[in-house]
Amino acid sequence: MQIRIASILMLLVATFALQGVASADQYELTFDNGSSWRGEDGDRVDVVFSEQGVSQSMTGEIMKIDGRPGFEIVFIRGEIAGRVATKGIFAPDIERMTASGASAVEAAPADADRGGDRGGKSSSGDKRAKVASEPAVTTVGEDGKLESSKPGVFFMPWEGPVGIEARHDEIKAIIEEADKYGPGQIIVLQINSPGGLVLEGDKIHETLKDVKQRHRVIAWVKEAISAAAFTSLHCDEIYFMQVGAMGSAVMYAGQTAISGAELDAWLEKFSEVAEIGGRDPIIARCMVTRTAMASYDKDPETGKVTIYPDMRGEYDISDDQNVLTLNVDNAIDCGYADGIANTTDELAALLDLPEWHEVNDSGRRIHERWQRSVKQCRERIPRLQAELQRNPERAITLLKELLGWYNRCYPVLVYEMGLPPDPDPIRRQIEEIRRQRANNRN
């Protein structure tokens, strides 16, 4: 019960802080995209923020700002979802906040020097490419869509266990950003994942099937195992890093690999996904079960590959002793991958782009925002557990915060920490503590 109590502190902190007395403090906040806001209690603001990976907005009056620098909670009284309420918003989740009615122009992040080497490294260690000396300009076209003055990509790292760190929500968010620029955009998912929840894969399946109708979707693979391989196979093109690996998509029920009708359905789904991406399903089936086999012949003149569901071909891909994980060499040779790129410059060349240019840094911000939430949740929950043990008199406050973490970081609490999917028992515990305290006062 202690671990369960530990996971949801954010909302409680917000509720507790509202009981304080507002003061006319001066505040200054700086957000992840480099923009900032300065003001005081009573100021009216427009705010755009992320909640469970979904961008939301509201207009209202600043009631109070609490918390240590970098982790403030901003309390705003205004209309949201059709009703007037006071909402506590975690400052790292705020994308933009401006005086109500002011121009909402975001400042460029400090490290995003558009006129030279951006420097630094992405989360996977890839050195960011130099950009042209002449910066791109975004304008609004006659159709109301945004337009970039030079071709580029919408790039997003997609890393960690599927369903916890690598989620459908972030894929959906980068697609929505690309949609603002009209059809025909290039979306690059830099995939580095050991796999994870099939449930998450089902949502990804529907979203990627839909987006491929209007955008070019690229998987840039460092590691794509299990559900991450399932995700990669949806994409129009797959490029491997030199150390890339993709496959091993055995589905388990508990500790046991599925069999029978369940296995048949998973094989059918994997075959469908391979075909959606324009790839032969024979090899995809070998990623799911060791009972499938694959080999191929390759025409030495044309390079045409013929794949067989047995071992008759000159080149072996997978026998009936092992579940298939493709490496960069056999993935390229059998035609399952479209090329090798270790840097963004190399990937740009393979995508027929004159240079590596990210239309904006929204994908990196989407990724970093969720990764930060996951890290904060993992760090906060053990401390919250300890506080509950030391300070039972603060149980209501701490349990309310736990409920807030359900809203903010549900996958970590439920799929990683083992909390119940439904937080109602925590709400009932809060009410029971209130009744006990009321009875004691009487």
- What does 9-43 look like in DSSP terms, one character per residue? HHHHHHHHHTTSPP---EEEEE-TTS-EEEEETT-
**What integer pLDDT is reported at residue 173 of this predicted model?**
96
Taking a C-beta distance cutoff of 8 angstroms, is the pair 333, 315 a contact?
A: yes
Residue 106 corresponds to which amino acid?
E
Q: What is the pLDDT of residue 67?
A: 67
Identify the band that residue 127 occupies on the pLDDT scale cut at 50, 70 and 90.
very low
Out of 18-22, 101-105, 404-408, give the one with best mean pLDDT.
404-408
What is the predicted pLDDT for the residue at 442? Answer: 74
> For position 180, what pLDDT does the model report?
95
Q: What is the structure's pLDDT at 119?
A: 34
**Cα end-to-end distance, the chain, whole Å:** 29
Using pLDDT thresholds of 50, 70 and 90, give the confidence band for residue 102: low
Please report which confidence band the pLDDT of residue 33 belongs to, taking 50, 70 and 90 as the band edges. low
Whole-angstrom distance, CA of residue 36 vs CA of residue 32? 9
Q: What is the pLDDT of residue 263?
A: 92
For 26, 136, 151, 195, 335, the CA distances from 65, given in Å and listed in that order, are 10, 37, 41, 39, 56
Residue 283 to residue 229: CA distance in whole angstroms = 12
Higher-confidence residue of 225 and 138: namely 225
Look over the chain and give the mean of its residue pLDDT values, rounded to a whole number: 84
Percent of the chain residues past pLDDT 70, beyond the cut: 83
User: What is the mean pLDDT of the segment spanning 61-83?
Assistant: 77
Per-residue pLDDT at 24:
43
Give, in degrees to the nearest 5, the angle at Cα 412 between 177 and 403: 95
Query: What is the average per-residue pLDDT within 307-331?
Result: 95
Extended beta strands in 248-392, E state: 252-253, 256-257, 294-298, 305-308, 315-318, 325-327, 339-340
Confidence band, pLDDT 50/70/90 cuts, at residue 77: confident
Least confident segment among 144-148, 170-174, 315-319: 144-148
Q: pLDDT band at residue 54, thresholds of 50, 70 and 90?
A: low
Report CA 428 to chain centroid distance, whole Å: 32
Of 20-34, 203-217, 304-318, 398-412, the range with the lowest mean pLDDT is 20-34
Mean pLDDT of 138-156: 88
Is 396's pLDDT higher than 70? Answer: yes
Domain ranges of the chain: 2-104+368-441, 151-360
Average the pLDDT over each of 92-106, 114-128, 223-237, 267-281 and give the range with the smallest value: 114-128
Mean pLDDT is lowest, of 65-74, 109-118, 242-251, 301-310, for 109-118
324 Cβ contact list (under 8 Å, min separation 6) = 247, 248, 283, 286, 287, 294, 317, 318
pLDDT confidence of residue 329: 95
Higher pLDDT, 9 or 174: 174
Q: Please indicate whether residue 101 or residue 262 has the higher confidence score (pLDDT).
A: 262
Is residue 175 predicted with pLDDT exceeding 80?
yes
Higher model confidence: residue 396 or residue 118?
396
Task: State the maximum Cα–Cα separation within the chain, in Å, rounded to a whole number.
Answer: 92
Please state the rounded mean pLDDT for residues 153-178.
96
Among 144-148, 401-405, 437-441, the range with the most confident prediction by mean pLDDT is 401-405
CB-CB contact of 271 with 233 (8 Å): no
Q: What is the CATH topology of the domain spanning 151-360?
A: 2-enoyl-CoA Hydratase; Chain A, domain 1 (3.90.226)
Q: Which pLDDT does position 96 carry in this prediction?
A: 86
What is the mean predicted confidence (pLDDT) over 1-13?
36
pLDDT of 104 above 70: no
What is the b/e burial string over 418-430, where b = at least 16 CB atoms within 10 angstroms of the residue's CB? Answer: ebeeebeebeebb
**CA angle centred on 337, ends 334 and 340, rounded to 5°:** 115
Rounded-to-integer distance, Cα 255 and Cα 240, Å? 30
Question: Residue 135: its pLDDT value, please?
Answer: 67
Tell me how many degrees the CA angle 344-346-348 measures, rounded to the nearest 5: 65
Q: Which of 400, 442, 365, 377 is nearest to 33 (CA)?
A: 365
Question: What is the model's pLDDT at position 65?
Answer: 86
Q: Which two tokens stand for residue 97?
A: 């906040």
Tokens 């055995």 found at? 250
22 — pLDDT class (breaks 50, 70, 90): very low
pLDDT at residue number 106: 38
Task: Determine the pLDDT at residue 52.
Answer: 59
Distances (CA, A) of 163 to 44, 54, 114: 37, 15, 34
β-strand 26-30 against 73-80: which pairing, if any?
unpaired
Question: 398 CB contacts (<8 Å, ≥6 apart)?
Answer: 5, 9, 12, 384, 387, 388, 391
User: What is the arithmetic mean of pLDDT over 154-180?
Assistant: 96
